[in-house]
Structure 1
Amino acid sequence: MKVKWHLVGILPALAVCASAFAGDIQPPPFYGTKGFNFSGGTGTALTVTILKNGRMVVKRYGTNGENVEYEGPYQNPVKVSDGSVSYQFTQNEAYLREDGELAIGCLDEGKPCVSELYDVDSVPRSMPSMQPESGNFIISKERNKALGDVTDVIILAKFSEVTVTDISINRGNCPLLSYGSVIKKPISPVTMKFGQSIVVGAGAFCNPLEVTVTTNQNTYTVEFPH
């Protein structure tokens, strides 16, 4: 079985938009994790994760690390901070509200605070010690909250263009997973451009200590701290 790799930023939308009528039962506009940034600068990135079990997490990624702004039952809009600020989501956009009104001037003076939502699998990292660089890739790892005992490995390209032909975790001792299913080798090659990422899961209860990425140009290996 060949598994189609997914590039961050081009995943399909998964759900319908919420109803516009107050009082209706509103289904989530999507499931999974999406990123947004009202100010467009560094240290102001946010993510929202909506799970099919009815839970929701909103995180902010600042210069000093990540902070959870909300974690609990799904709600839209979702109140953060002291409750005077809230985020509202559609399928493709996030809106910043203050005291119930659409905020103005986050990016451009006089314009509403609206951000495009972009698809991500795991997002922006604020853990330098967990992001070894091979010189041409930045590779990080993160526990997959949906699958619990699976760790995701995120491979970010710094090439203008490169084709990944193989990935090995812990010298082949960890099976590769995609959406919980084992990836059979040889894997299907995937072409990446600068700033694009691919995500692969390490088999259940497997802690990635070494990741090797083979490309059409060379082989790159990184090690994580034990």
Structure 2
Amino acid sequence: MGYLILGSGGLGTALAHELAARGEEWLLAGRQSPRGLDPTCYFPLQEVDPLSFEALFTLYDGASLPTVVINTIGLLSDLNHMPERRVEEVTPQWLCESLQANAWPQLALGANLSRLMGPSSRLWLCSLSDLAGSLGGLESNGQGASRYSYRMSKAALNMGARILAAEWVDRFPGAGVITVHPGLMDTPMQQPFKSELDRTLLQDPTQVAPRLLDLIAGLTPAQSGSFLDLQGQPLPW
């Protein structure tokens, strides 16, 4: 079983270390090569644009595809933008950047995989989502009515997964798509907001990684198109 991991942040790096410890075949694509990992298993993916994804998938021309693809790419803030607390703070630029970072990579992966898969291909595509993007769970998922661009882009990610899963049912019945809410993690993404968070809820990515891998290993075809937590329980859309 081969793995392709997108994103070399806290969870992506933890997944690579866990897979290395398990003796699995893996490739990590991200902006930086983590320390302590085999550099030959790293691909520099500096941007989330079509050319970067096409370059990545040239590695699979004439080669076996991974059987598990995990997309950990995500964006909550950057040096110039913080999550919006009021609607007056929403800008078209940041909304588009959030959609490109949080929703588009899954579609780019789906498109490139679809070009290479055949009717008998068996593969799982898993993207990291967030309960913050749940329409049905808005009142109970924390942070009140804030983080417009982040929440909207994660909701778009979930919808994209459902559409892609429905398309693959006919084209590639052995392939599936899910989104997973892993819960809060102690990663650089949360660094600017730690004072606002309950520290007891922050998980170490090294603890999340094996649970996520075990969840994916136990998936059934009927779960394709689902939004799940780490226990495999369905979450509200």
Higher strand share: 1
Higher helix share: 2
Q: TM-score, normalised by structure 1?
A: 0.29
Q: TM-score, normalised by structure 2?
A: 0.28
